[in-house]
């Protein structure tokens, strides 16, 4: 491995390191408050440097880059690989930043859910129920106007707080 290949590998490694730091550190590595186009984002620069370095190193080794001309060819191939990589890095990071997510569930979303009693509900106190909200099981304290045994299917009629609900049985008990 000659010196040019090592330089290309160092450039590629620097790009990979910048990308890892930007993913782990979020906005720690941004370019201040400058209004620069997306192709100057950290992701674009990291993708460009990584592809330039690694593609250049591979090409330099394949063409036997011992002369300035072959090193220049390796650099040109690196640039040709780096441009679409930087473009894709910008597009992917923009898609990740603008990804639609569901709203955070609130206690109002608990009303109308169904579930099951997991700890019996007494006539004067609380028990526990398990309901599904957004596909996730949630265990809540529950109160009812009559005692409900464990295993009874319930319907949430009121959300008293973020962690407690008022329920009634789905099937009336005899």
The answer to whether 105 and 133 have CB atoms below 8 angstroms apart is yes
pTM of the model: 0.56
Of 4-13, 87-96, 159-168, the least confident: 87-96
Pairing of strands 136-143, 164-169: parallel
For residues 152 and 39, which has the higher predicted lDDT (pLDDT)?
152
- 68-94 residue pLDDT tens: 898 999 999 999 999 999 889 888 888
d(CA 55, CA 76): 10
- Report the b/e string of 36-49 with b at 16+ CB within 10 A: eeeeebbbbbbbbb
pLDDT reported for residue 43: 82
Domains (ranges, CATH) in the chain? 3-97 (no CATH), 107-169 (2.40.50.140)
DSSP for 19-67 reads: HHHHHHHGGGGS-TT----GGGSHHHHHHHHHHHHHHHHHHHHHTT--S
pLDDT reported for residue 105: 84
d(CA 66, CA 69): 8
Tokens 């265990």 found at: 139
Asked if the model's pLDDT at residue 167 lies above 70, the reply is: yes
The answer to whether 45 and 89 have CB atoms below 8 angstroms apart is no
106-120 mean pLDDT: 92
Asked if the model's pLDDT at residue 37 lies above 70, the reply is: no
- Read off the pLDDT band of 172 (50, 70, 90): confident
Asked if the model's pLDDT at residue 132 lies above 90, the reply is: yes
């Amino acid at each position: 491995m000659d010196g040019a290949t090592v330089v290309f590998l160092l450039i590629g490694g620097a790009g990979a390191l910048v990308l890892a730091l930007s993913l782990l550190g979020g906005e720690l590595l941004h370019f201040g408050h400058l209004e620069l186009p997306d192709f100057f984002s950290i992701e674009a620069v990291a993708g460009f440097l990584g592809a330039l370095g690694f593609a250049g190193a591979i090409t330099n080794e394949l063409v036997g880059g011992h002369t300035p001309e072959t090193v220049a060819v390796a650099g040109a191939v690196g640039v040709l690989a780096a441009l679409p990589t930087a473009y894709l890095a910008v597009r992917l990071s923009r898609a990740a930043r603008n990804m639609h997510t569901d709203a955070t569930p609130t206690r109002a979303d608990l009303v109308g859910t169904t579930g099951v009693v997991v700890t019996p509900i007494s006539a004067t106190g609380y028990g526990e129920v398990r309901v599904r909200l957004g596909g996730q099981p949630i265990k809540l304290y529950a109160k009812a106007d009559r005692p409900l045994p464990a295993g009874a299917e319930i319907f949430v009629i009121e959300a008293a707080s973020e962690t407690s609900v008022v329920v009634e049985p789905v099937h009336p008990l005899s």
